[in-house]
């Protein structure tokens, strides 16, 4: 019985070693610099879905730990950036990427700011145009206009 408990404890420690290494800050081992660079780049390109606008590199959420573990495993297995992004989007949705792909579900996200800018320009132009019409239209008769001009001229002469 004691032997069985010892085996279970040893297996638990062995299985959790990679997760422990990710949490404890122990340097991770990669085959080459490309893998390490890919891992570090993807850490900052993937968003923690729990923390909203924080990358998985700086998040302390348990989901971020899982994402880092999945990322490390995929990089070690030789996955490229496209495969990693596809896996993460399939599992967690487009929100996991800081720069989601341009597809029908994200059209509004990509085009929305330009549409709002265009709407702002149109509203501004209509506003300026209506003010110009109000300023240019004169409801005064010719007699009233002449009287107003005389009043303004007399005030200029007094100064």
pLDDT tens, position by position, 17-73: 444 345 445 567 778 888 889 998 898 889 888 887 888 888 888 888 888 888 999
- Given a contact cutoff of 8 angstroms between Cβ atoms, the answer to whether 46 and 96 are in contact is yes
For domain 8-101, which architecture applies?
Orthogonal Bundle (1.10)
Residue 20 host element (H or E):
helix 17-24
Q: What is the pLDDT of residue 87?
A: 92
Angle at 57 between CA 42 and CA 36, to 5 degrees: 45
The tens digit of pLDDT for each residue in 85-120 reads 999 999 888 888 888 778 888 888 889 999 999 999
| Domain ranges in the chain with CATH number 1.10.8.640 | 8-101
pLDDT grade, residue 146 (50/70/90)? confident
- Given a contact cutoff of 8 angstroms between Cβ atoms, the answer to whether 61 and 50 are in contact is yes
- Given a contact cutoff of 8 angstroms between Cβ atoms, the answer to whether 19 and 68 are in contact is no
Q: What is the pLDDT of residue 51?
A: 82
**pTM of this prediction?**
0.57
> What is each CA distance from 151 to 107, 145, 157, in whole angstroms?
61, 10, 10
More confident residue, 88 or 134: 88
């Amino acid at each position: 019985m004691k032997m069985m408990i010892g085996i279970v404890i040893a297996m638990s420690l062995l299985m959790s070693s990679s997760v422990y290494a990710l949490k404890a800050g122990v340097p991770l081992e990669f085959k080459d610099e490309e893998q390490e660079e890919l891992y570090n780049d993807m850490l900052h390109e993937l968003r923690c879905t729990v923390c909203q606008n924080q990358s998985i590199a700086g998040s302390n959420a348990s989901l971020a730990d899982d994402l880092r573990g999945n990322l490390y495993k995929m990089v070690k297995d030789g996955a490229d950036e496209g495969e990693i992004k596809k896996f993460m989007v399939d599992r967690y949705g487009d929100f996991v990427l800081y720069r989601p792909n341009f597809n029908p579900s994200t059209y509004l996200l990509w085009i929305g700011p330009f549409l709002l800018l265009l709407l702002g320009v149109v509203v501004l132009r209509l506003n300026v145009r209506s003010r110009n019409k109000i300023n240019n239209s004169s409801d005064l008769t010719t007699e009233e206009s002449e009287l107003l001009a005389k009043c303004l001229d007399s005030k200029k002469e007094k100064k």
